[in-house]
Structure 1
């Protein structure tokens, strides 16, 4: 469970922003979206390799 301590006189929008940031870091929504549809392990691995190759190409271009 996410707990956001609120200080005396702190703005509720600021507390809500802290909550949203903590919730995003947990990755719960990402996991829910990924579980909505099954992806085969081979397809998942292929996507990871494509992403890794893309990132590696970007890093090589900047050097």
Structure 2
């Protein structure tokens, strides 16, 4: 569970922004979306390799 301590005199919008950033960094929503349906391990590996090849290609052109 995420906890955000609102400091004395701190703007509520700023505290909300900190909460949203922490929520994004913990990747809770991403994990929930991944668990919506089962992905076979072989398909997951294939996607991971494809992503790695794409990233390598991006850095190779520079």
TM-score bin (small chain)? over 0.9
Runs of 4+ more than 4 Å apart: none
Q: 2:14 maps to what in 1? A: 14
Secondary structure in 2 matching 1:5: coil
Distance in 1 separating the partners of 2:40 and 2:47: 11
Q: How many residues align?
A: 62
TM-score, length basis structure 2:
0.93
Deviation at 1:12, TM superposition (A): 0.6
Deviation at 1:43, TM superposition (A): 0.6
TM-score, length basis structure 1:
0.92
Q: Output aligned runs, 1:1-63, within 5 Å.
A: 1-62=1-62
Q: Provide the alpha-carbon RMSD of the alignment.
A: 0.8
Q: What runs of 5+ residues in structure 2 fail to find an aligned partner?
A: none
